[in-house]
Amino acid sequence: MTATGYVHGYSGREAYRLGDQADTLAELLHAGTAYPAGSRVLEVGCGVGAQTVHLVAANPGVHIVAFDVAEDSLAQARARVAAHAPGADVEWHRADLFDLPFADATFDHLFVCFVLEHLPDPRRALAVLGRVLRPGGTITVIEGDHGSAFFHPDSADAHAAIDCQVRLQSAAGGNALIGRQLQPLLAAAGYHDVVVHPRAVYADGSRPGLVEGFTRNTFTAMIESVRDDALAAGLIGEGGWDRGIADLHRTAQAGGTFCYTFFKAVAVAPPSTRLLADPPAQTRMTDVSRFRLDG
């Protein structure tokens, strides 16, 4: 996909939402991702650097190469990392993941968060990425799945508003329900030892940080952002939309609850496969045990 096809857009509000999302969910999503010092990690589709700052903080001594197809987002990513982690070892590239400017088997680990959901052919993306991963290196993929959202009070209008986002993303070539497909996608792309951990975020009045950071500022804000497109496409009427959004906000008020599941997959590139069209003659020894496959 191109930068312009990105369903959430590249507004300042979206940049804020991505940062809020990453900060709120850092513990949930990054727990277990610990790369050995000295390893080379490629962050795919780094966006505004919302995950990069957490990768940097959790992995001292790691060389991170971060890239995105959107120049504006990259500039924001540089600024965010400079502000949060001055002197961090991060190299930035503007690149399309389907046309990577890196040699085969350059990286020990790949980190891909909330990118596949926007791509028309995620299996091909994973296979293409495998070219730059050294044999035995790992890939970590994190995605959400809007079908996993349930809440109290339940509301058909709120589900209808969420469904607008799912349909718009599908029309743009993406898939907002991709979390449940990570295992088969990675296996089909040729990776080995695929392990997927569902990671649920649950917010109620006893967890005000999650209510604010996730229910309101991440999930509901994301659905709200597609209002104009949903109405213009005739997916829903204005009254139904307003009721759905009001009901989503209701789940963040007293007595409301909200649950959503992310899927985190870790997989290993095989020693020599179709992932690597032309494997290098000399490969480094694999030491997967040093990388914690999280539990």
Task: List interacting residues with ligand SAM (CB under 6 A).
Answer: 1, 3, 6, 18, 22, 45-47, 50-51, 68-70, 73, 96-98, 113-115, 118
Among residues 101, 69, 66, which one has the least CA distance to residue 81? 66
The CB-of-206 to ligand SAM minimum distance in angstroms stands at 27
Minimum distance of ligand SAM from residue 111's CB (angstroms):
8
d(CA 209, CA 47) in angstroms, rounded, equals 24
Min separation Cβ 30 and ligand SAM, Å: 11
Q: Which of 110, 61, 56 is nearest to 84 (CA)?
A: 56
Residue 73 C-alpha from the chain's centroid: 15
Q: Which residue, 8 or 243, is less far from ligand SAM as judged by CB?
A: 8
Helix (H) or strand (E) holding 267: strand 257-268
Q: How far is CA 152 from the centre of its chain?
A: 26
- Whose Cβ is closer to ligand SAM: residue 160's or residue 164's? 164
Nearest distance, CB of residue 70 and ligand SAM, angstroms: 4
Give SS3 for 37: coil
Bridging pattern class, strands 40-44 and 63-68: parallel
**Closest distance between ligand SAM and the C-beta of residue 9, in Å?**
10
Q: State which residue, 74 or 158, has the beta carbon closest to ligand SAM.
A: 74
Nearer Cβ to ligand SAM (100/252): 100
Name the residue nearer to ligand SAM (CB basis): 55 or 160: 55
Helix axes 71-84 and 12-30, enclosed angle (nearest 10): 60
CB of 161 to ligand SAM, least distance (A): 19
Q: How many residues does the chain have?
A: 295
Q: Pairing state of beta strands 133-144 and 257-268? A: antiparallel
Pick the closer one to ligand SAM by CB: 18 or 236.
18
Q: Which is nearer to ligand SAM, 70 or 248 (CB)?
A: 70
Residue nearest to ligand SAM (CB): 47
Q: Is 27 exposed, middle or buried (0-12, 13-18, 19+ CB in 10 A)?
A: exposed
| DSSP bridge partners of 68 | 94
Cis peptide before 280 (omega within 30 of 0): no
Residue 25 CB, nearest distance to ligand SAM (Å)? 9
